[in-house]
Amino acid sequence: MSILDAKDDLTKFRAEIRTWLADVVPADWKARMARASNEEYIAGQRWWMAERRKVGLAVPHWPVEYGGAGLTLQHLIAIAGEMARADAPMARMFTISLIHLPGTLFPHGTEAQKRHYLAGVAKGDVWCQGFSEPNSGSDLASLRCRAVRDGDRYVVNGQKIWSSYSMYADHCILLTRTDPDAQKHRGITYFIMDMRAPGVEVRPIRQANGRAEFGEIFLTNVSIHAENMIGRENNGWRVAQATLASERGVIAFEGAERQRYEIEAFYHKALASGAAWLRDDQLRREFMGFLAEMQAGRRMLRRVLAESETPEASASVLPSLVKLSATVLRQRICSFMTRIAGVEGQDFALLAEEPFGSPMFDFLSAFSGTIAGGTNEIQRNIVAERGLGMPRV
């Protein structure tokens, strides 16, 4: 029986995924990634997507007519749970392709856009998101990248920044300003941009953890056909809301499940080896606190997921609360790991030798979570204003 043949019985569906993962995920994939160059890491991402594609798990949540399997949220939760349990690779490079692009095209794209671009994603196309600019991040609506109409095309000039995996992307979902005189939310237009078009230049940005997963995108007289507009001219802000809301919490759910298995494995290893920190009351208390907070976070995430398909979802502050607590907890756990790893945990030379998965790598990487997808300060504003009814300042 294949995985998708078992989709009508969630228990069997899970069991099929577990069997497949046991078969396909190499035991040493993390160790291999530890010394991987950027190019090897990217090749690993492509390999993982290809394996998922073979068993129908590349785009399982899309409708059948667009190449998906029409699976429900419960199936996605089952897949994410099993991926976490198996400590399988994550298809990070494909997040925009798999989540944000369809989340935008399904409500706002033309039929031709859906057919053409979603078929490309199902085959492995990489997409990036060109939203943030050097002076427009939290205040995204102030963006200045300019698109000027010229017949049936637009000429685009400007700069984008922090665009994840843009160096490897085939296409970009791009926000531009088409009416500089309109109120700032009203003069924005949303485009699909070919990353290989003349005038597109991507410069990688090296991060504190040694990797280069972001790029700056420089656009000089880039020509985009009007048929690549998503939604109407100057209505891009509304379309962008669909992109930003598209994630539905499944990625956060998988992250929380992964953290749970990671922490449990860490604890059992410490017990087996009689680790010294287990005899330190303060460290033990700190660790047990993580376990309690983690369970609370997992419960909150289940509520976010249950709520995600209801009309209340768009006004809920729960996703903000989850993001706040999960990202800060992640930082604290990673800080704990570097401290108990002793001198080696602080060693930057080790970071260069074995970056991926070392305590210092994880610690430095943990900071990005409090910035990506809306900073924690912005999440606090949302909780204060929408959740507690506090006045806007």
Binding ligand FAD (rule: CB under 6 A), the pick from 69, 73, 371, 384 is 371
Exactly one of 45, 97, 104, 164 binds ligand FAD (CB under 6 A); that residue is: 164
Which of 69, 244, 378, 384 lies at the binding interface for ligand FAD (CB under 6 A)?
378
Of 216, 233, 247, 262, the catalytic one is: 247
State yes or no: residue 162 binds ligand FAD (CB under 6 A): yes
Q: Torsion over CA of 171, 172, 173 and 179, rounded to 10 degrees?
A: -120
Residue nearest to ligand FAD (CB): 137
Do 128 and 165 meet the contact criterion of CB atoms below 8 Å apart?
yes
Give me the residue label for tokens 């429900």.
72
Closest contact distance (angstroms) between CB of 267 and ligand FAD is 28
Find the shortest distance in angstroms from Cβ 161 to ligand FAD. 7
Beta strands per DSSP E along the chain: 127-130, 146-150, 153-164, 171-177, 188-194, 200-205, 214-225, 229-230
> Which tokens is 176 given?
């531009």
Give CA angle at 14 (12, 19), nearest 5°.
Answer: 95
Helix and strand numbers, DSSP H then E, in the chain: 15, 8
**Catalytic site includes residue 247:** yes
Contact range with ligand FAD by CB under 6 A, out of 9-17, 41-49, 156-164, 349-357: 156-164
CA torsion angle 350 32 57 105 (round to 10): 50
Site for ligand FAD in 236-295 (CB under 6 A): none
DSSP 87-117: T----GGGHIIIIIHHHHHHHHS-HHHHHHH
Nearest to ligand FAD of 158, 374 (CB atom): 374
List the x/- string, 115-144, binding to ligand FAD by CB under 6 A. -------------xxxxx----xx------
If one asks whether residue 159 binds ligand FAD (CB under 6 A), the answer comes out as no
- At 150 the three-state DSSP class reads strand
Q: Is 5 or 377 the residue whose CB approaches ligand FAD more closely?
A: 377
| Residue numbers at the binding site for ligand FAD (CB under 6 A) | 128-132, 137-138, 162-164, 368, 371-372, 374-375, 377-378, 381
